């Protein structure tokens, strides 16, 4: 394993040249900020995040600067002044949105974020998530020393399997979580060995240096050293936890560089089409609503879940749902176990013993005769939908309100079709959705 890690380090540790470029940009940004903040003597700024702690990956260099405001500022002031400062110190910029808007841009060709936040006494009293970042940095900055490259290995190991990032699109491991795990387990190698035995009911208390099982816990809980109520792994899904644990096991068993590079799969078009002909996969395509990803993805998940429930309520067994965003189009995929149902289903009445209820049951006007099953009244009623695509179409046309606030508005005029010959842009996603092997 050591040899493999040595090899990989060559790719994950930034070159001297890149470091020099980054340092120069950081110095320039610092100079500009000092100059700018002369106008705001009660504000201060700090370099935080992976750049400040030297845990960044060469392919994702980004300098994070936080501007700290005293609590006397209103949120509106913080936002206005924060953005103004950001715009004035960056060469080119755009607004981005997390809990609050912040400025993203470049300094001497290097990506940078300028994020306003409050300067607080305790991380437990924060007003918004960004206010916690200075505390995270304080806690980590000395503890991570000497382990920076282990963090880099971990990040790349996760990225290769699309497990890096706590955002809703990924539901994986945040950079902060990566650093805490490396501090807790001491090294990448040791983390991998321990994670191979992880369970979803573990509590990892980084500050106290303890790990223990907690009965009934549904997903791993990594206690934030700066706020013990907070789970740093809150956004990590159980299935991504499972993927990570599996990956650790496989890596231990047979260490190789491949674990650090995403695998590109070859798609067999003929196999793909043949598979789609004998399975029932439906695509709903609709215009992407103009919202940020961290809002969009939970809504897409909700839409998948609700469409699934709708189908199941109408007796169409759902095998899997998935979503995929391509440029300005959202795509939802639903695979059902069958395409067509017979026109009737059973409708049960009372056991024959319940005299009055039974009489009401047989006196209702019904399309079919009633009969008994195990002494219980039964009749047939017409199904609302006999075709899966009909059901999906009715769901998005008439029940769009439950499919996410913004997604619902767009999906209602979406297009539903069974997929047999996928477009070139969707092929890769569908190949993976079907769990095909080359």
Q: Site residues (CB under 8 A) for its own copies?
A: 196-200, 238-239, 241-243, 245-246, 249-250, 253, 275, 278-280, 315, 319, 335-346, 352-353, 355, 358-359, 362, 366-375, 379-380, 386, 432, 434-437
Pick between residue 326 and residue 340 the one whose CB is nearest to its own copies.
340
333 labelled as ligand-binding? no
- Tokens (6 digits) for 375: 């002494």
DSSP 384-416: S-SBHHHHHHHHHHHSGGGS-HHHHHHHTT-EE
- Yes or no: say if 140 and 53 are a contact pair by the CB < 8 Å rule: yes
370 labelled as ligand-binding? no
142 labelled as ligand-binding? no
435 labelled as ligand-binding? no
53 labelled as ligand-binding? yes
Encode 171-206: b = buried (16+ Cβ within 10 Å), e = exposed. bbbbbbbbbbbbbbbebbbebbbbbbebeeebbbbb
Nearest distance in Å: CB 317, its own copies: 8
Nearest distance in Å: CB 105, its own copies: 39
DSSP 218-242: -S-EEEETTEEEEETTTT--HHHHH
Pick between residue 10 and residue 264 the one whose CB is nearest to its own copies.
264
Gap between the Cα atoms of 248 and 242, Å rounded: 10
Q: Compute how many other C-beta atoms are within 10 angstroms of the C-beta atom of residue 153.
A: 25
Nearest distance in Å: CB 336, its own copies: 7
Nearest distance in Å: CB 251, its own copies: 13
Gap between the Cα atoms of 241 and 237, Å rounded: 6
119 labelled as ligand-binding? no
Pick between residue 379 and residue 426 the one whose CB is nearest to its own copies.
379
Pick between residue 129 and residue 242 the one whose CB is nearest to its own copies.
242
Nearest distance in Å: CB 185, its own copies: 18
Cα–Cα separations (whole angstroms), residue 46 to 52, 65, 76, 121, 145: 9, 6, 21, 16, 18
Pick between residue 2 and residue 437 the one whose CB is nearest to its own copies.
437
Residues tagged in the binding site annotation for ATP: 50, 53, 136, 155, 164
Residues tagged in the binding site annotation for CTP: 50, 53, 136, 155, 164
């Amino acid at each position: 394993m050591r040899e493999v890690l040595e090899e990989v380090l060559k790719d994950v540790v930034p070159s001297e040249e890149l470091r020099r470029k980054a340092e120069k940009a950081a110095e320039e940004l610092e100079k500009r900020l000092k100059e700018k903040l002369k106008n705001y003597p009660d504000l201060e700024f700090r370099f935080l995040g992976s750049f400040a702690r030297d845990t960044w990956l060469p392919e994702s260099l980004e300098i994070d600067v936080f501007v700290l405001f005293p609590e006397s500022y209103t949120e509106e002031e913080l936002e206005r002044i924060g953005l103004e400062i950001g715009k004035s110190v960056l060469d080119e910029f755009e607004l981005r949105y997390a809990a609050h808007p912040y400025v993203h841009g470049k300094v001497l060709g290097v990506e940078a974020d300028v994020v306003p936040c409050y300067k607080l006494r305790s991380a437990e009293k924060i007003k918004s998530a960004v206010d916690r970042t200075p505390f995270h940095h304080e806690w980590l900055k000395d503890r991570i020393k000497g382990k920076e490259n282990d963090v880099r290995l971990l990040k790349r190991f996760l990225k290769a399997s699309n497990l890096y990032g706590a955002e809703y699109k990924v539901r994986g491991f945040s950079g902060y979580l990566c650093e805490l795990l490396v501090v807790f387990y001491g090294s990448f190698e040791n983390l991998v060995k321990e994670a191979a035995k992880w369970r979803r009911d573990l509590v990892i208390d980084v500050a106290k240096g303890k790990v223990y099982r907690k009965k009934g816990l549904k997903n791993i809980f990594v206690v934030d050293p700066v706020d013990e109520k907070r789970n740093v792994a809150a956004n990590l899904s159980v299935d991504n936890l499972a993927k990570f644990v599996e990956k650790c096991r496989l890596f231990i068993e047979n260490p190789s560089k491949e674990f650090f590079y995403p695998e590109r799969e070859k798609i067999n078009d003929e196999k793909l089409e043949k598979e789609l002909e004998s399975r029932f996969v439906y695509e709903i395509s609709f215009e992407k609503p103009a919202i940020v990803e961290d809002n969009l993805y939970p809504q897409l998940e909700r839409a998948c879940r609700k469409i699934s429930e709708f189908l199941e309520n109408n007796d169409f067994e759902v095998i899997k749902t998935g979503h995929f965003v391509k440029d300005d189009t959202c795509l939802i995929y639903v695979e059902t176990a069958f395409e067509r149902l017979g026109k009737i289903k059973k409708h049960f009445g009372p056991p024959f013993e319940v005299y009055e209820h039974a009489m009401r049951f047989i006196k209702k006007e019904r399309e079919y005769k009633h009969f008994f099953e195990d002494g219980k009244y039964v009749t047939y009623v017409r199904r609302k939908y006999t075709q899966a695509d009909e059901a999906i179409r009715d769901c998005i046309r008439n029940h769009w309100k439950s499919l996410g606030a913004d997604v619902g508005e767009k999906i209602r005029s979406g297009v539903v079709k069974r997929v047999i010959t996928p477009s070139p842009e969707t092929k890769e996603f569908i190949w993976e959705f079907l769990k095909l092997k080359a």
